[in-house]
Amino acid sequence: MSKKTKNQSQPMELPPTPLQARGVAATWVTGLALVLCTVMILGLLGMIVIGGGKTFWQRPIDRVQLKSGEELLAMEYRREARLGASDRILYRVGNRDLGQQPFKWIDVDSIESIDEPSDAVLLERQEWGIWIGIPERIYEIAESGELIEIASGSVSVQEELENQLGIAAARRASANGLRSGPIADINDRLERLRLSELEAQLRVTGNSRPNHLGWVLWWAVVAALIIAILGAVRIGHPLAKRSLVIISMLAVLVAYAERPWAGQPWTQEQFESYKAQIDDKRALLTAQFRELSNKLTALEQDDARFRIEVRDISTGQFAPISRSQMNEPMKVSQILRVVPANEIGFVGKIKLYLSRWWNFLTEDPREANTEGGVFPVIVGTLLVTLMLTIAVVPLGVLAALYMREYAKQGVMISVLRVAINNLAGVPSIVYGVFGLGFFCYGIGGVIDGGTDPSLVLKVGQWWVLVLVIAAMLFFVLTLTGQEKQSKKSLLIFGLWSGVALLSVIAVFSTPYFEGFFQAKLLDGSPTFGTSGLLWASLTLALLTLPVVIVSAEEAIAAVPASLREGSYGCGASKWQTIQRVVLPGAMPGIMTGAILAMARGAGEVAPLMIVGAVKLAPELPFEDRFPFIFADRSFMHLGFHIFDLGFKSPDSEAARGYVWTTTLLLVTLVVMMNLIAIRIRSKLKARFVSGQF
């Protein structure tokens, strides 16, 4: 009995767990993958931060005495170890005016001695990069040609130079203010007068624009329009209301296209009278331009009198005013900053570092983008990102709403979703080529010069096309309003597609439009018929549209059906439910799509190379005058700027630091925009959870 009890008390041995069923290995593998991803991301960000952060740090100026007897002033950039040979050092010697390379490799074995002279200075100049040398004297050239010495000797020159740089900066600011202010304004007004004269000359030659309605018939059309609008407001029958709405649209089109006062050619007397007015205005502006030019010339002559001699110790040559005038010392105003690198100390280097960062963010680029700042680049990047977001988010949300809330879930919608997902994988350069052909040359060409004559329909043919579009629109609106429209979804989709296609054909074949910028086309300078900010933004919006549609549709589908049913139960219509329940609930997901679109659009380069981004934009696309954003202008972009610095710069070593710095700036801007969008998304999500939407 005791033996049986003993056997029953022993625990039953279980078979070991199979290796593939154990979770320990999966835990380690997934954790290792997470660590690897984190290390890769942090490593990338660390390289960008370190590479970009050290660009503006001031290095000491070394006086390198070579065994050959040659002597030079330079800043050490990096050392390189070589197998079977001595190490070598890359020095930045600057002084490109002398015809030398700004960077120079020197073998360590060829160096006799290295020290840091206290009188060596680095000059940051407006042109030709930096100059490293020993300052000798500052003098003024009197009107008689006599040289009046202001300071001599390295110490005295450095003490006086700060004062002279302030005075020269004030003169330079005054000159730049004249160029970019009143002189630029006068040039702009003169250009507008010239274009006005060309437009008037076009009107003298006559206008091929058709016009068949007289004043009586035109007023009859306007009266019919008013009656149709009033009837559409008062009549409650849906079919009659749709009919009156379409009649109103046709009446508006007829009234605008056949307006009697448009397209009337000028007589020669009218043109001569108008030209006389333009000539009077042009003479007044020309006189103002001469006066301002004289002031500018006086400032430049006064500026040219103050010179400085800073000698290169290798050749004994002082910094010249230009490469074509090597015997003339440079002007003081050509210097932007003087840096006694070996005397400023750590605190001075910190101040200099911050000052260079500020200049980098607020100034225009110089020296093939390897010097100066990136302010126009920042403006262009922010504008194109903002405009693409404004364009893509509403369009993507509306498309997602129709696919999820209105369309019947069948084969057509499934095929459409597959097509949208596939569009997300199309190479971005394809979108750039499409944007150039469709937006720039297609729509832009029509905006500039009107419809291509080979595509223009006759007046009767065009109005027949318009009536067909109106009839199709009437039928599709009628079918959409029926209760059993789901059974006719394919027909409705076909009608909407036909309306859209025929509308595009009507726009590109209308005989009633001759463009807005014909006068500029006479000079061979298109306005919207070439790459620019608007077309770049729309191209990027098209590129990021699949991302927004997919994110918005998933967010709309995630809104609980019980909320919709509750809204319907309270008597709300479908649109009221979408507007007050579905969209607020889906807004966090929609913001996620907007964040992804912003991030991808801000970093794209390939499409922008074709449809708008340039190496150096002469004018900003944003100004403090109406219309403030000039969508026809070219612009600079941080992504394209990085590509240009890395692969198109004439001085790759000088551009290396700017590549890292611009990359750091681009990452920072994208992160800041994303953080703002994430903050907005969090607030919207909190309001939805609390029921305050």
CA distance 135 to 38: 51
Q: How many CA atoms lie within 13 A of 271 on its CB side?
A: 15
Contact 545, 423 (CB under 8 A): yes
Q: In what helix (H) or strand (E) does residue 335 lie, and over which residues does it extend?
A: strand 335-339
pLDDT at position 263 is 63
So what's the pLDDT on residue 7?
Answer: 53
Question: What is the secondary structure of 22-79 as a DSSP string?
Answer: -SHHHHHHHHHHHHHHHHHHHHHHHHHHHHHHTTTPPPPPEEEEETTS-EEEEEEEEE
Tokens representing 518 are 């014909």
How far are the Cα atoms of 65, 365, 372, 539 from residue 319, in angstroms, in the given order?
Answer: 21, 22, 20, 47
Q: What is the CA radius of gyration of the chain?
A: 35
Q: What is the pLDDT of residues 510-566, one digit of tens each?
A: 888 878 888 888 777 888 888 889 999 999 999 999 999 999 999 998 888 888 888
| Phi then psi dihedrals of residue 157, to 5 deg | -65, -40
Residue 18 confidence (pLDDT) above 70: no
Sign of CA pseudo-dihedral 413, 418, 419, 420:
positive
Of all residues in the chain, the percent with pLDDT exceeding 90 is: 22
SS (H, E, C) 352-392: HHHHHHHHHHHCCEECCCCEECCHHHHHHHHHHHHHHHHHH
Specify the pLDDT at position 397. Answer: 92
Count of beta carbons in the 10 Å neighbourhood of residue 651? 17
Winning range, highest mean pLDDT, from 7-11, 218-222, 682-686: 218-222
pLDDT at 620: 83
- Residue 201's pLDDT is 83
pLDDT level of residue 1 (50, 70, 90 thresholds): very low
What rounded mean pLDDT belongs to the chain?
85
- Rounded distance, CA 333 to CA 338, Å? 12
Give me 223's structure tokens. 């009266």
Q: Is residue 626's pLDDT more than 90? A: no
Helix (H) or strand (E) holding 231: helix 215-234
Q: What is the pLDDT of residues 101-132, one digit of tens each?
A: 889 999 998 988 999 998 899 999 988 888 99
Closest by CA to 78, choosing from 656, 686, 688, 660, is 656
32 burial type by CB count under 10 A (0-12 exposed, 13-18 middle, 19+ buried): exposed
* Dihedral angle sign, alpha carbons of residues 316, 322, 326, 332: negative
- Quote the pLDDT of residue 277: 92
Confidence (pLDDT) at 5: 52
CA distance 613 to 532: 8
* Contact residues for 78 (Cβ-Cβ < 8 A; gap 6+): 89, 90
Residues 6 or more apart from 15 whose CB is under 8 A from it? none
Query: Picking from 308-317, 483-492, 648-657, which range would have the lowest pLDDT averaged per residue?
Result: 483-492
φ/ψ bin of 372: left (φ > 0), alpha (ψ from -120 to 50), beta (otherwise): left
For residue 84, pLDDT beyond 90: no
pLDDT at res. 539: 94
- 209-261 confidence digits (pLDDT tens): 666 677 778 888 888 888 888 777 777 677 777 788 888 888 888 888 887 77
Distance CA 451, CA 507 (A): 8
Give dist(CA 363, CA 369) in Å, integer.
11
- Does pLDDT of 206 surpass 70? no
Whether residue 73 has pLDDT greater than 60: yes
> What is residue 395's predicted lDDT score, i.e. its pLDDT?
92
DSSP state of 692: -
CA geometry: angle at 185 spanning 183 and 188, to 5°? 110
CA–CA distance, 629 with 244 (Å, rounded to integer): 38
CA–CA separation, 644 and 502 (whole Å): 42
Q: How far is CA 596 from CA 253, 415, 673, 674, in A?
A: 40, 24, 11, 8
CATH topology of domain 372-447+521-690: MetI-like fold (1.10.3720)
> What distances in angstroms separate CA 205 from CA 454, 495, 514, one per listed residue?
21, 43, 14
- For residue 97, give the DSSP letter: G
372-421, pLDDT tens digit by residue?
A: 889 999 999 999 999 999 999 999 999 999 888 887 777 878 888 888 88
From the CB of residue 100, how many other CB atoms can be counted at a distance below 10 Å? 15
Please check the confidence at residue 267 and state whether its pLDDT lies above 90.
no
Q: What is the DSSP string of 578-637?
A: IIIIIHHHHHHHHHHHHHHHHHHHHH--HHHHHHTB-SS-SS-SB-SSTTSB-TTS-B--
Residues in the chain: 693
pLDDT above 70 coverage of the chain, percent: 92
Q: Each residue of 444-463: pLDDT tens digit?
A: 888 888 877 778 888 888 88
Tell me the angle at which helices 238-257 and 459-480 cross, rounded to the nearest 10 degrees.
160
Q: In angstroms, rounded to a whole number, what is the distance separating the alpha carbons of residues 184 and 192?
A: 12
The predicted pLDDT at position 295 comes to: 92
Angstrom distances, CA of residue 544 to CA of 84, 356, 396, 577, 680:
53, 36, 9, 28, 20
Please determine, for residue 60, whether its predicted confidence score (pLDDT) is greater than 90: yes
Give domain limits for the chain. 62-116, 132-209+266-343, 372-447+521-690
Q: How many CB atoms lie within 10 A of CB 292?
A: 17
Measured CA to CA, the distance from residue 95 to residue 319 in angstroms comes to: 8
